[in-house]
Structure formats: structure tokens, C-alpha cells
Amino acid sequence: MSSKVIQKPEDRDSRPTTHDSQLTQSAGPKSIKLFEKAQRVLVGGVNSPVRAFKAVGGTPLFIQKAKGSQIQDVDRRWYTDLCLSWGPLILGHAHPRVVMAAQKALREGSTFGAPNPREFFLAQMISEALPSMQRMRFTNSGTEAVMSALRLVRACTGRNKVIKFAGCYHGHVDALLIKAGSGATTLGIPDSAGVPLAWTQETLSVPYNCPEAVEEAFARWGKEIGGVIVEPATANMGVVLPKPGFLKFLREITSRYKALLIFDEVVTGFRLEYGGAQTAFGIEPDMTCLGKIIGGGFPMGAYGGRKEIMENVAPLGPVYQAGTLSGNPVAMAAGIETLSLLKNKNPYAHLVRLTTWLANGIRERSLRFGIPVQVNQAASLLTIFFTEHVVTDWESAKTADTQRFGQFFHHMLGQGVYLPPAQFEAAFLSTAHTPKDIEKVLQAVDKAFEKITSVWEKKRPAVPAPSRSKDVSPRRVPTAL
């Protein structure tokens, strides 16, 4: 058996690609030296595989501090950050009020292993924003939230099978680390060493945005399917929006077969708008998984749903789940302050305007330089796919040119713009980003596209006009591409 362990399904972020060594060595000497030392004590020198830069080549930057929209590496170079720790920092790095709230809580005690008032306050805020979460349980990560939610779904329905969508990532849960097969609907095949085949055979993988495949799965295994888990707008194969009616269809078919609909809003929760994707799209799931933003930059997750479902969790019911640091007061304090600022300031329209400006600017430059790209946007998330094909699912996402993205990534890094170091990820904006930041990024895109064009001139394909996403207002996240 291969010893290769993959961070995400279909090996999309950790796969090595061929890169020019001179181009991809963007790291400074201190980062290079630290990475060499880190590999002696940390697996691969990192604590999450995508951070190793294998998808783009070169040595990862070691970051020593950050403020607002900017991060600084150990070589004292500053970068405009469009990764934002993969999404939690919607207020930017080290927001003063979040820092103060966390410091106050820390002075009072970092963890108690007992109930604390902040748990109730944050849970109440979340339930008011997402009414579908009548009851909830805090965890320490989105992965833990998903794992617990799936256990609960199986217990409540008495059915073992779960449908997931190819390209959607729900954490490193054994049953969900599967690759898509050749058919429209396939039984899960492990996509990581160490996952027994039997554990993934209860997971059905179907194409995202394909109601026909979901219908086929329910027609064949309907009495065995306990639930459907979906990113309502994906961020983990890059940003992909649901086609019109797709989420409504999932709501209808799960109700018809008495299965549960789970929205994985670890990324989209409090990101698309204050009430998350379910409010933006007007679809109420049976259960929701959250993470990232609700912790204000600290480790946190949550899962919740209707009262009658959640009361099956211990101590009220037979489904066991626990956590030593779950609900710790420091993370709760940061989460409360973050959600309070989002609710009171309501920055979502502003974030959409900034992101749309950036997305349109990239599209215009791609046309000018003759570089085929698709820019998919959902509120303040976007992905630049280096492909001439409209991206609506994992199969179309895979048409993206990962080598060209790697070149683009390093050209941008060399000009002080830090993107997520993988083609199939989402970039994020925050309330700390300013018009000057957007201008800087677009100037960097100009230079990056110019350099890429000079390298690829001889084999440049004809470029169709890229598709344009509609503008996104707080209560109108686009439901069509």
C-alpha cells in the first residue's frame, strides 16, 4: 500500500507539479532555513499538507506576524493577504476588539472543563442568525463538527449511507475521504491510505450541481440513505455556485425520502452574509456544520439543527460526543466579538463590492492578455481558474491548468500578494482590505499576466470571452453562473 496521505479528496491540493525552479523560489533565506529545520521534527515541515507549497512549487513562507490585510514573513517582507488563514479572518488579522476580548477571557482563565457563560451567549447569537440551528454543540474544528453530525444523522435515521458531492471537502473524516469513480453515482473508494474500504462504502459520491445523479442514488439506495451533505456554495474545489434550483431540489428529495439535509457551512457560515448560505439562498437544512468565522481566528466548530434531532446527543440521548476544550472561554470570547461586529456593522455589501471589483478587474486583464481564466465569485470569496471552460463542478474544475496557476501564484507572491497556494481553493477578502489593496492586487495581476503571456506565447489557445458572475448583494448571492 502506498504511504502517500492526501489532505483533500481527489488529491487536488497536495499533488506535485512541474515548475521552473528559479520562478518558484519566492521564499527568503530565513523561510528556507526554517523549512529545512522544520522537516526534521514536523511531518513534511508543516501541520497541514497544502501549506507545503507542493501544488505550486517552491518553499513555503514562514509567517511571523500580521495586521489587518497584511502578513509579514520571517524575512520581514510584507504581503497583502488573500488567504486569511483559509477564511476565518473576515475582520482581518488581529482586529483590536477581537484581540481585547480574547485577552480579557485569557486573563480570567484559558479553559475550565466546565460550562461557562460565553458558551450560551455565542450559541444564542448563532441560533438567532441561523434559526435552523435550534440546538447546537461546540467542537474544536469543522472536521470534528462534520464527523459528529454524520454520526448523529445515522443514529436518527437508522440508515448508514450518506451522499456527498465530488470536489466538496468536509474535513479529514475517514468516511468522506473518497475519490469520485467513473460513473455518475459511485460507492466510495478510499482516497487516503489507512481508510478501510468498508468505511467508505457507505458514502455515495455524486457530481455537484447534478440533480439526475442524486435522483439515481435515491432510486437505488433510498431506504439506506440517511443524509446528504453539501457545501451550499463550494470553496474546496475552488468557488463553485449552485445552479438555480439545485439546493431547493436537495431540500425536496431529502424530505421525500425522509433523509436529512446537512449544510457544511464551515466556510460560508457568516461569510456570504450574516445568516450564511442558507439565508442567502433561502433553504433551511436539517443540520448545519460551522467553523472558521465563529471562532474569530481561534480553533472552533459547531454542529446543530432541529431540537428533536439534537436531543439525541449525550447527555440527553444515546449519541456520544465530547471534547476537553470544546466551548473554551477564549475562543468563545473571540467568536462573540466577531459576530457582534458583523451584526452591528453589516459589512457584507461593502465586501461584495470590493470582491466584484477585483473579480471584474482580473477578467478584463485576462481578455487583454489573452489568458483564458474563469473567475468564480460568491460574495467575498473568489477563485481564478486557469481554464477556458465554465466551472460548475469538479470535472470542469479539473480542466484548470495547475502549472500556469503555479506560475501566477509566484509572480503574485514576488509582488507582495499572498494567494492560497493551490489552484483549487478560494481567495478571501476582509473588512480590513481597502481600495488601495485592490489596486495593488490588480497591478500585480497586470505584471503576472504579462510575464505568463511571454512564456506561453507560442502555445496560447484562442480565448473565449470569460463568463461573468452577477454582482452579489448581501441578500442576493448569485444562484446562477
Tell me the residue range of the domain where 72 lies. 9-93+347-459
Examine the domain organization and report whether 337 and 289 are in the same domain. yes
User: Where is the domain boundary, 345, 376, 394?
Assistant: 345
103 in the same domain as 79: no
Cα separation, 206 vs 327, whole angstroms: 35
**Residue that terminates a domain, selected from 329, 345, 361:** 345
Q: Which of 417, 430, 280 is nearest to 354 (CA)?
A: 430
Q: 168: closest CA among 159, 184, 180?
A: 180
Question: Does one domain contain both 81 and 100?
Answer: no
Distance CA 234, CA 244 (A): 15
What is the rounded distance in angstroms from the CA atom of residue 283 to the CA atom of residue 279? 7
Q: Residue 126 has which C-alpha cell?
A: 448563532
Q: Are residues 66 and 44 in the same domain?
A: yes
Nearest to 71 by CA among 413, 438, 466, 424: 413
Q: Is 161 a catalytic residue?
A: no
pLDDT at 181: 43
pLDDT tens, position by position, 332-371: 999 999 999 999 999 999 999 999 999 999 999 999 999 9
Active-site residue among 54, 292, 303, 393? 292
Distances from the Cα of 59 to the Cα of 28, 271, 415, angstroms? 9, 30, 16
**Domain containing residue 105: CATH number:** 3.40.640.10
Task: Retrieve residue 436's grid coordinates.
Answer: 488601495
- Per DSSP bridges, beta strands 70-73 and 63-67 are antiparallel
Please report whether residue 197 resides in a domain. yes
Given 345, 376, 408, which residue is the final one in a domain? 345
Whether 469 maps to a domain, the answer reads no
Contact (Cβ atoms closer than 8 angstroms) between residue 288 and residue 269: yes
Eight-class DSSP state of 479 = S
CB 290 within 8 A of CB 145: yes
Place of cell 470570547: 333
Does residue 478 lie within any of the structural domains?
no
Whether 368 and 230 map to the same domain: the answer is no
Residue 470 lies inside a defined structural domain of this protein = no
Q: Are residues 43 and 103 in the same domain?
A: no
pLDDT score of 452: 94
Catalytic residue among 81, 191, 264, 401: 264
Domain-embedded: residue 207: yes
Rg (CA), the chain: 22
pLDDT at 193: 82
Tell me: do 68 and 199 sit in the same domain. Answer: no
- C-alpha grid cell for residue 6? 492526501
Q: Is 141 in the same domain as 32? A: no
Alpha-carbon gap, residue 222 to 236, rounded angstroms: 27
Tens digits of per-residue pLDDT, 307-338?
Answer: 999 999 999 999 999 999 999 999 999 999 99
Q: Which of 169, 208, 303, 418 is catalytic?
A: 169
Q: Does any domain span residue 4?
A: no
Residues 6+ apart with CB under 8 A from 192: 5, 6, 172, 177
Q: How far apart are CA 396 and CA 363, in angstroms?
A: 18
Q: Tell me what pLDDT residue 183 has.
A: 43
Instruction: Name the 3-class secondary structure at 61.
Output: coil
Q: How far is CA 14 from the centre of its chain?
A: 16
Q: What is the dihedral of CA 41, 292, 202, 195, to 10 degrees?
A: 0
- 399 in the same domain as 303: no
Q: Among 416, 405, 414, 422, which residue's Cα sits nearest to residue 362?
A: 405
- 174 and 30 in one domain? no
The enclosing domain of 440 has a CATH number of 3.90.1150.10
Are 323 and 92 in contact by the 8 Å Cβ rule? The answer is no
Nine-digit cell string for 252: 425536496
pLDDT (0 to 100) of residue 199: 75
Whether residue 473 lies inside any domain: the answer is no
Q: How would you write the pLDDT of the chain (481 residues) with one tens digit per residue?
A: 333 333 343 444 444 344 444 455 689 999 999 999 999 999 999 999 999 999 999 999 999 999 999 999 999 999 999 999 999 999 999 999 999 999 999 999 999 999 999 999 999 999 999 999 999 999 999 999 999 999 999 999 999 999 999 999 998 887 787 764 434 444 555 677 887 787 778 999 999 999 999 999 999 999 999 999 999 999 999 999 999 999 999 999 999 999 999 999 999 999 999 999 999 999 999 999 999 999 999 999 999 999 999 999 999 999 999 999 999 999 999 999 999 999 999 999 999 999 999 999 999 999 999 999 999 999 999 999 999 999 999 999 999 999 999 999 999 999 999 999 999 999 999 999 999 999 999 999 999 999 999 876 655 455 555 444 443 333 444 433 2
pTM of the model: 0.89
Cell of 294: 465563529
292 labelled catalytic: yes
Answer whether residue 466 is part of any domain.
no
Do 154 and 168 fall into the same domain? yes
Q: Is 450 left (phi over 0), alpha (psi -120 to 50) or beta?
A: alpha
- State how many domains the chain has: 2
Q: Do 67 and 129 lie in a common domain?
A: no
